[in-house]
C-alpha cells in the first residue's frame, strides 16, 4: 500500500515536485489583473442544486472500463456514509478507485488513512484519519461548500457552456494561489495537505488543487471534465489544468493561469491543443489525463477553435438573455467586444 501511495502521490503532484507553477509568480506580478462583476438579470434564478454523490468523468470510464463505474459509486456511497468497507472485484480496481477519488470525491481523499486502506478477498477497506462523528460533520460541511460555489455562480436555465463559463468566472476570481505550498504534496510542518478538497473548502491552492476542484464543480452540474497534467518540453516545470467537453468537443481550460494573470478573464478558457502548447510549451503526447497514466492528450483531440477570440479577454460579462459574452481586452479595457454564442452547439 505504501508503494502504491508513493507512486500515486508522485503522479498527482508533478507540479509540486518540479515547481511546475513557479513561473506564474513572475507572470502574476507583470500582468494587470482586472475584474468586474458579471451582469445578472433580476429574472435569473440560482441553480436548484442537489448534491450528486455519483460523479465520474468519461475519461476515467474510458481508462478503467465501464465496469469500473458501479464499483466506484459503491465506494462513494460507503465513503459518504463513513462505512469502512465496500465490495470490490480486485486489488487493481481498488487502487484505481482510490486514485479516482482525488478529483471525483475530494472529501474522502482528504481524510483517508492510507495505512488502514487495504484490499482483501473481494472487499476494499476504507481507513479514515479522523473519528467517524467528526468526519460526517465534515462531509456535510463539504456539501454546503460545494453548493455555495455552484449557487453563487450558476443559474437555473444555464446550458453546458454557461455553466462552464460562470463557474470559471467565479472560480478564478475567488481562488488564491498559494506560493508557499510549492515544496511538496504535504507540508507537514504547516499541516497543509494539498488536494482539491482544500481549494473547495478554503479557496486557496496550487495548480493540481485548482484543476481537481474545478473538474469536480463541473461534474456536479453535469459538465464532463477531468484533470490534465504534464511536464513542459525541457522537463523543467510541470503543471496541471483541465480537459472539458462542451457540445461533444474537447477543450483545455487552465484556471491556475487565469487566476494569476486575469482573474475573471478568458485567456485560458476553451483552448485548443495548439493554444495550450503555446501557453506553456506542453506537448499533447505527454499529457496525463485524470492522473491515470493510461490516456494522453492525443487520445482526445482538442482542435475546435470557436473560442479563440475570447483568448484576448482579461475580464468578461455573461449576457444570458441575448446569449452574448461581453469581453474586455488589455488594449481596450473599457470597451466591450461582443461574442455571440447563439446555437453554439450546432456551429
pLDDT band at 184 (very low <50, low <70, confident <90, very high): low
Q: How far apart are CA 164 and CA 222, in angstroms?
A: 10
- Percent of the chain exceeding pLDDT 70 equals 84
More confident residue, 24 or 223: 223
Mean pLDDT of 87-93: 97
**pLDDT tops 80 at residue 183:** no
Mean pLDDT of 191-199: 87
H or E element: which one contains 60? helix 58-64
Pick from 165, 256, 264, 279: which is nearest to 218 by CA?
165
Minimum mean pLDDT among 28-32, 71-75, 144-148, 204-208: which range? 28-32
**pLDDT tops 70 at residue 226:** yes
SS3 335: coil
Pick from 229, 223, 267: which is nearest to 249 by CA?
223
pLDDT at residue 190, rounded to an integer: 54
Task: Give me the half-sphere count of Cα atoms (radius 13 Å) on the Cβ side of residue 132.
Answer: 9
Q: What is the mean pLDDT of the chain?
A: 88
pLDDT band at 260 (very low <50, low <70, confident <90, very high): very high
Mean pLDDT of 308-324: 96
336: left (phi over 0), alpha (psi -120 to 50) or beta: beta
Mean pLDDT of 283-297: 95
pLDDT at residue 44, rounded to an integer: 74
pLDDT at residue 345, rounded to an integer: 81
Can you spell out the DSSP letters for 124-191? EE--BSS-HHHHHHHHHHHHHHHHHHHHHH-BTT--HHHHHHHHHHHHHHH-EE-GGGTT-SEETTTT
Q: How far apart are CA 13 and CA 20, in angstroms?
A: 9
Q: How far apart are CA 279 and CA 271, in angstroms?
A: 10
Minimum mean pLDDT among 19-23, 90-94, 214-218, 250-254: which range? 19-23
Count of H-run helices and E-run strands, the chain: 13, 14
290: left (phi over 0), alpha (psi -120 to 50) or beta: left
Mean pLDDT of 126-146: 98
Q: What does pTM read for this prediction?
A: 0.89
More confident residue, 130 or 185: 130
CA 68 to chain centre: 21
Task: Tally Cβ neighbours within 10 Å of residue 347.
Answer: 10
Strand ranges, E, within 290-332: 315-319, 324-328
pLDDT band at 35 (very low <50, low <70, confident <90, very high): very low
Q: How far apart are CA 317 and CA 38, in angstroms?
A: 4
More confident residue, 43 or 156: 156
Instruction: Return the CA Rg of the chain.
Output: 20
Amino acid at each position: 500500500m505504501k508503494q502504491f501511495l508513493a507512486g500515486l502521490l508522485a503522479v498527482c503532484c508533478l507540479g509540486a515536485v518540479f515547481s511546475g507553477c513557479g513561473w506564474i509568480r513572475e507572470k502574476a506580478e507583470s500582468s494587470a489583473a482586472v475584474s468586474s462583476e458579471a451582469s445578472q438579470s433580476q429574472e435569473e434564478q440560482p441553480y436548484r442544486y442537489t448534491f450528486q454523490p455519483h460523479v465520474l468523468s468519461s475519461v476515467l470510464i474510458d481508462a478503467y472500463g465501464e465496469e469500473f463505474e458501479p464499483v466506484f459509486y459503491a465506494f462513494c456511497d460507503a465513503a459518504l456514509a463513513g462505512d469502512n468497507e465496500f465490495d470490490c472485484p480486485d486489488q487493481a480496481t481498488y487502487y484505481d478507485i482510490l486514485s479516482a477519488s482525488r478529483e471525483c470525491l475530494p472529501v474522502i481523499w482528504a481524510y483517508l488513512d492510507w495505512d488502514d486502506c487495504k484490499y482483501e478477498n473481494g472487499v476494499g477497506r476504507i481507513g479514515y484519519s479522523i473519528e467517524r462523528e467528526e468526519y460526517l460533520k465534515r462531509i456535510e460541511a463539504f456539501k454546503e461548500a460545494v453548493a455555495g460555489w455552484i449557487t453563487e455562480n450558476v443559474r437555473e436555465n444555464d446550458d453546458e457552456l454557461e455553466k462552464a463559463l460562470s463557474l470559471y468566472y467565479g472560480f478564478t476570481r475567488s481562488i488564491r494561489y498559494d506560493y508557499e505550498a510549492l515544496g511538496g504534496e504535504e507540508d507537514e510542518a504547516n499541516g497543509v495537505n494539498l488536494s482539491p478538497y482544500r481549494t473547495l473548502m478554503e479557496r486557496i491552492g496550487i495548480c493540481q488543487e485548482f484543476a481537481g476542484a474545478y473538474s469536480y464543480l463541473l461534474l456536479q452540474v453535469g459538465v464532463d471534465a477531468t484533470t490534465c497534467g504534464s511536464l513542459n518540453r525541457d522537463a523543467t516545470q510541470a503543471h496541471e489544468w483541465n480537459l472539458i467537453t462542451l457540445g461533444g468537443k474537447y477543450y483545455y481550460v487552465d484556471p491556475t493561469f487565469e487566476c494569476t494573470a486575469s482573474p475573471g478573464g478568458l485567456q485560458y478558457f476553451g483552448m485548443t491543443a495548439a493554444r495550450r502548447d503555446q501557453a506553456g510549451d506542453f506537448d499533447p503526447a505527454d499529457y496525463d489525463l485524470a492522473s491515470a497514466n493510461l490516456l494522453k492528450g492525443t487520445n482526445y483531440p482538442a482542435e475546435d477553435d470557436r473560442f479563440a477570440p475570447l483568448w484576448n479577454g482579461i475580464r468578461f460579462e455573461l449576457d444570458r438573455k441575448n446569449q452574448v459574452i461581453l469581453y474586455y481586452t488589455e488594449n481596450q479595457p473599457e470597451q466591450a467586444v461582443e461574442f455571440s454564442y447563439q446555437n453554439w452547439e450546432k456551429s
